[in-house]
Amino acid sequence: MDIHEYQAKELLVRFGVPVPRGGLAYSPEQAAYRAREIGGESWVVKAQIHSGARGKAGGIKLCNDRHDLWEAADSLLGKTLVTEQTGPQGKVVYRLYVEAAQAIAREYYLGLVLDRASERVMIVASAAGGMEIEEIAERRPGSVHRIVVEPAVGLQPFQARDLAFRLGFKGVEVQQVVKTVMGCYRAFRDLDATMVEVNPLAVTRDDELLALDCKMSFDDNALFRRPEIADMRDRSQEDPRESAAADRGLSYVGLDGNIGCMINGAGLAMATMDMIKLAGGEPANFLDIGGGATPDRVAEAFQIVRADENVRAILVNIFAGINHCDWVAQGLVQALEKTGLDLPLVVRLAGTNVEEGRRILADSGLPIITATTLADAAEKAVAAVATTAKTAAYAEAV
């Protein structure tokens, strides 16, 4: 789960990480009021969406008077911001963060992530802040410094000091860096985060170290014990399909294709999407119904796939072990009896109770396309989409 910049800053402040003064605004009037509260003569208005590269997309504006600030807030609120990370559909701006502008002397990058290779928390830092870490690593690989944290003892102050020296900090600045790095690590550890990123971590002309922009992501599986984090969830920033699936305990990732997929097991789901691509089609989603899916759960999963307006055919691929093929068949029939079938449906069943599952589908009288192998199912789904497209084109021409 991702959260907004202002929320990440609220959390990091609790762990001693310094941030500029700022306030949340939902209207231009409120933004102007926040500026009066903050004081000073210039402010930064930031669109709060779950995406990076907001500045390049016009989502961050520097304002030198309250009139400019009011106009900046008015232009951003309700705007669909398209960045490198949102895709062409973009994300709508519903809230703003107004912050005191800072005179920046130097910028740095600081990030904490879970490194799968070492199975440890890794701290990544660079003296080339203000850019994405991928760009930094490509353009200036020697500027990227890494620290692997030993889980038995956690991050040690001497490691943070060593990192500060490697980044070129000196004198009293070193202690500020140590405090910030240790604070970010404690926030990462204590809040079950999967990523903490401060970019840029800036030194101002007054020699003050500040986290100017922050991102945090959290482990969805740990939210049950972090209710204060779960409450920060902003559904307006989520794919509604993924949100609906998550509420039902389903693993769903929306894609840009037109063949909806309902599969049990992440590995089988990946293989199915590969086979669809190989057959010349495009998957519309990744959906894993998991093990032990009941007919009701199968019916809910089917409705989520079907709710995608881009879907032109649905492929159900089940290799039953813990699941039973008859449960899946019952769930499909249950869903179709309620809503009817207006899209081609290809079903491939294998494994536990497969004969009973196939019998249930056959006895339903529904126009379900059956397949015996994954390759056969993918080819039939792609062919069904092509047939549907031709029929629609003919009807439109007539």
pLDDT at 140: 75
Tokens of 87: 């895709």
Question: How many beta carbons lie within 10 A of that of residue 131, not counting itself?
Answer: 17
One of 5, 197, 242, 300 is an active-site residue; which one?
197
pLDDT: which is higher, 232 or 134: 232
**CA of 228: how far to CAs of 218, 245, 377, in Å?**
12, 22, 45
Quickly list DSSP for 9-37: HHHHHHTT-----EEEESSHHHHHHHHHH
pLDDT at 239: 76
Query: Which whole number is the average pLDDT over 383-395?
Result: 72
Task: Give CA–CA dist 108/80, Å, rounded.
Answer: 29
pLDDT at 16: 95
Cβ burial, residue 74 (10 Å; 0-12/13-18/19+): middle
264 carries a ligand binding annotation: yes
Q: Is the pLDDT of residue 341 over 90?
A: no
107 carries a ligand binding annotation: yes
Query: Which whole number is the average pLDDT over 106-120?
Result: 93
179 carries a ligand binding annotation: no
Percent of the chain whose pLDDT exceeds 90: 67
Torsion of CA 164, 167, 173, 174, to 10 degrees: 20
Asked if 28 and 63 count as a contact pair (C-beta separation under 8 A), the reply is no
Q: Is the pLDDT of residue 395 over 60?
A: no
Q: In the chain, where does the domain assigned CATH 3.30.470.20 lie?
A: 1-19+104-238
The yes/no answer on whether domain 21-101 falls in CATH 3.40.50.300 is: no
pLDDT at 167: 94
247 carries a ligand binding annotation: no
Active site residue 394: no
Q: Is the pLDDT of residue 214 over 60?
A: yes
Q: What is the mean pLDDT of the chain?
A: 90
Look at 76-80, 113-117, 385-389 and tell me which has the smallest mean pLDDT: 385-389
Beta strand segments in 223-368, E: 251-254, 259-263, 285-288, 313-320, 345-351
Q: In the chain, where does the domain assigned CATH 3.40.50.261 lie?
A: 240-387
pLDDT at 398: 52
Q: Which tens digits make up the pLDDT trace of 233-247?
A: 998 888 777 777 777
Nearest residue to 317 via CA among 340, 341, 342, 285: 285
37 carries a ligand binding annotation: no
Active site residue 26: no
Q: Is the pLDDT of residue 54 over 70?
A: yes
10 carries a ligand binding annotation: no
Query: Which whole number is the average pLDDT over 264-288?
Result: 92
Look at 160-174, 294-308, 373-387 and tell me which has the smallest mean pLDDT: 294-308
**CA of 322: how far to CAs of 78, 182, 318, 370, in Å?**
47, 44, 11, 22
What pTM was computed for the model? 0.78
Q: In the chain, where does the domain assigned CATH 3.30.1490.20 lie?
A: 21-101
One of 97, 108, 109, 252 is an active-site residue; which one?
109
User: Which backbone phi and psi does 196 adopt, to 5 degrees?
Assistant: -130, 125
> Which residue has 């402040």 as its token pair?
13
CATH topology of domain 1-19+104-238: D-amino Acid Aminotransferase; Chain A, domain 1 (3.30.470)
Strand partners, 25: 96
Task: Give CA–CA dist 396/254, Å, rounded.
Answer: 29
pLDDT at 5: 96
CATH number of 240-387: 3.40.50.261
